[in-house]
Each structure stands twice: as C-alpha cells, then as structure tokens.
Amino acid sequence: MAGIGFYIQKMLQKDTLSSTVVSVIFSAIVSVGPWLLTSTSLVVLGLLFPTEGNSNYELFSMATIYAFIFSTLASGGLIMVIVRRVADLVFAKGYHQILNEYIGIFLFQGICSFVGSFLWIFFFGPDINWVRFYFTFLFTILSLLWTTLSFISVLQKYWQVIIGFSIGSLLAIVSPLLLMHLEQGVYSFFGYILGFGFCLTYLIFMLFKDIPTADIRISFRFFRAFKKYPENFFFGLFYYSAIWVDDIIIWFSRYGSNPIKGFRFSMIYDMPMFLAYLTIIPSLSLFFLVVETTFYNKYRRFYVHIEKGAQLKELEYDLTDIRETIRHQMGFVIKIQLLVSMLLFVFSPFLMNLLGLSATGSRIFQIGIIGAFFNGTFLMIQLLLLYFEFRKEVLMVSMLVFFINLICSFIILQYFENFLSMSYLLAFLVGTIVAKYFLDVRLKHLIRIEYNRQPLGLQKGEVKRRHF
C-alpha cells in the first residue's frame, strides 16, 4: 500500500495550530453536509421521478428522510468527539493509530447501526420487506459515511472530498432513474443507496491510500475521548436535535400524517423547511473560504506571538486585528446571505406555486428562510467559538437553541398555528444573539484567558495550548 505521501509529509511540518483548524473546518462540513444532501438529492429526484399515484415513491421518500434525519441524530455527538480525537492524533503524529481506531469505530458503529435500524423498522415500521432492507442499509451506510468523513480530516483534501460527494450525489439521482427505465420496479430505489455507498467507499479508499497501513489492528481506544471531551458529544447531539426537533413535533400534530406504519410525515411543513435549509449555502460556502484565508492568518499570528512571548501591546494589536476581521468579514458574509434571503422571500409564493404547495406552505417557507438565515449565522459564530476552544459556551448555546425550539414548537402549535416554523426562527435568533455575546466577551479578554489556561511551571514566554 502507499506510504504517507507528499501531502502528509507537508502536514507533519505544520505548527500546532493545525490541530484546531482541522477540527473546526470538518465540524463545519459534517454539520452542513447531511441535510444539504438530503434536500438536494430528494428535491431533484422528486422532480424527475414519476411520483403521481406512485405509493412506492412515497415510501421511498419517507424511508430516505428518516434514514438521513436519524442517522445524523445518532451520529451527531459521536462525530464531534471523533473530529477532536483525530486532530489530537494528527498533532501527536499517530497516523497508524488513526486507522486502527477507524477500524474499531467502523465495526462498532456499523454493527450498532445495522442491528438498531433493522430492529426498529422490523418492530415499528411497515410490514414491507423492500422498505425494511432499504431503510436498514441506507441508515447504516449514512451513519458510517458521517463518521468516515470525520476521519478523513487527517488528509485535509477538501476538494477531493467535495468531488467524491458530488459524484456520489449524482449517482444517487441517476441510478434510480436508470433502474426505473430498466423496469426494476421497487428495486429501482436501491440505486439511491449506490450513490452514498460510492461516497463511503471513496472516502475509505482515500484513508487507506494516504495513511501508512503497516501493523493494522483493531483499536477501541477512541472510547476514552468521550470521557476527555464530553462537551463535544453533547453539543453535537443538541445542535443536530435543534435542527430537527420542530419537524418531529409537527409530525405528531394534526398537520402530520401517518400514511403507513412507522413513518410520520408532514407534507405541508417538511418540504418548505427542507428548501429553506438550502438558502444558506451561499453564506456558509463564503464563510468557510474567509475562515481558511483572511481570518486564519490573523488567528495564527496572534498565537505565534503568544508562544514567542511578545509584548502586551503587540498582542493587543493582534487581538484588535482579529476582532476587526471577524466584524468586517462576517458582516460581508451576512450581507450576501441577507440579499439572497430577501430575494427568495419575495419570490417564495411563485416558487411554492411551482411546487404545488399552498399559501400555508409559502408562509412556512418564508419564516423558514429567516430561520435558516439565523441558523447559518449561529453556525458561523459557533465555529469561531470552537476556534478559540470555548467548548462549554458552544454546548450551552446548543442546548439553549434545542430547548427553545422544543418548547416554542408546542406553544405555537397550541396558540399560533399560522406561524408553524416560527419556533425554528426564534430558537436560532436567540441562539445567535447569545452566541455573539459569548464571542464578544471572550474575545475582549482573550489575552488574559489564554495566559490563565497555561499550567503552572512554564518558563517565561512559553505557552502550551490545548488542542483539538
């Protein structure tokens, strides 16, 4: 098998801040990826696939949405811990251990996902064999896919990952259509699994191609990371739950339906909200670009100066530069997103009419657009907090957003039914305000906080940072 390769050799020469950067960027990717793939692939496939009077397609759609939602909920906390664990191993140059632990997690999660999803669909789902097997295989592949994506951070090959996911998403759309034309009946839907199976296989190939594979063993040492970084597990769990909790509550309201055993759905709510999620693609894409370039250069300079024991005035200048960069760059990204959101808000009745949704669906979409705007802003601030290792603050605001969405969903269903998606908007609005407050306060006192983090006994000018 191939050795480390030129890219990994370059990576070994990077400074210790690389560990934090790897963790943050891939936290962003795994946060955005799941629901983005769900929305785009299902929307496109729904436009191309003959759905009128096709009850099997409705089963396919519901099974797919359930697999995506609950695979992210089941994996959300795990992948945030894995991202941190992998970054620690990168910093320690323990590349062999990365593969060993990957194999352990792959076996553990694969077995748990397959058995758990099969038991659920068998006892609580529809008594239809193809649905049982489709849901079980898709749920397992998606769970392993999100986890593998966390491990692939060791390579930092972002464009290769994007290309692989693009090809896989295309296969997920084309394969069912091709099998349908070959008159494969319900088995056409299994073509959807092929696309995401390709993504998983592609990522595994990348891992084993570019990381040393000598003396491979199965290791379960990753379980220790849960004790070391419990905040990572819980803020991943609460953030993903905050995104989906309003959907789940609506499913069990009078706006939801139970067309077949095991699957609840809300046509009036789910489709507008899925489309609303897509509206923050421009801002998140632009933000990731800004983080990897302009912001990171300022961030790196600040910590290099701390490590070199720079004078206080120099550190204060660096910190002011960081705060101004965040203010200007985030302001620019938010203005772009605001423009996109306003245009979509204005044209939402026309778009909803094209999709055959009612005025209620249009109103849900309009509120959802605003909510998605704040969700994107919240995620950006959350990632900045992670850059400076304020994990407890991220956990607190993630919990806050979840409970606000949970409680307000029930209140709005009871008293304000004309504003169904308002709980989602309110949750991320409040979460954004609180997260921004935490960021401003922590940045204001960052120099003092960084020096207080240092263990006693260091010589003057030495700094030992905690790492992702």
Instruction: Locate the domains of the chain by residue range.
Output: 5-228, 281-452
What pLDDT score does 153 carry? 61
Q: What is the mean pLDDT of residues 162-180?
A: 80
What pLDDT score does 214 carry? 67
Q: What is the mean pLDDT of residues 240-258?
A: 88
Q: What is the mean pLDDT of residues 411-439?
A: 90
Residue 310 has pLDDT above 60, yes or no: yes
- Which pTM does this prediction carry? 0.79
Q: Which of 36-50, 92-106, 307-321 has the lowest mean pLDDT?
A: 36-50
What pLDDT score does 406 carry? 95
What pLDDT score does 416 carry? 85
What pLDDT score does 228 carry? 82
Q: Which of residues 464 and 293 earns the better pLDDT score?
A: 293
**Cβ atoms of 301 and 317 closer than 8 Å:** no
What pLDDT score does 57 carry? 78
Q: Which of residues 324 and 24 earns the better pLDDT score?
A: 324
What pLDDT score does 276 carry? 83
Q: What is the mean pLDDT of residues 108-114?
A: 93
Give dist(CA 446, CA 323) in Å, integer. 11
Q: Which of residues 59 and 431 earns the better pLDDT score?
A: 431
Residue-wise burial string across 61-83, b where 16 or more C-beta atoms lie within 10 A, e elsewhere? bbbbbbbbbbbbbbbbbbbbbbb
Confidence of residue 293 (pLDDT cuts 50, 70, 90): low
Give dist(CA 278, CA 32) in Å, integer. 10
What would the pLDDT profile of 353-403 be if each residue is shown by its tens digit? 776 777 777 888 888 889 988 988 898 888 888 888 888 899 999 999 999
Give dist(CA 101, CA 106) in Å, integer. 8
Q: Which of residues 293 and 235 earns the better pLDDT score?
A: 235
HSE-up of residue 104 (Cα within 13 Å, Cβ side): 16
- Identity (one letter) of the amino acid at 402? F
What would the pLDDT profile of 120-155 be if each residue is shown by its tens digit? 999 888 888 888 999 999 999 999 988 887 777 656
**Cβ atoms of 246 and 252 closer than 8 Å:** no
Give dist(CA 265, CA 263) in Å, integer. 7
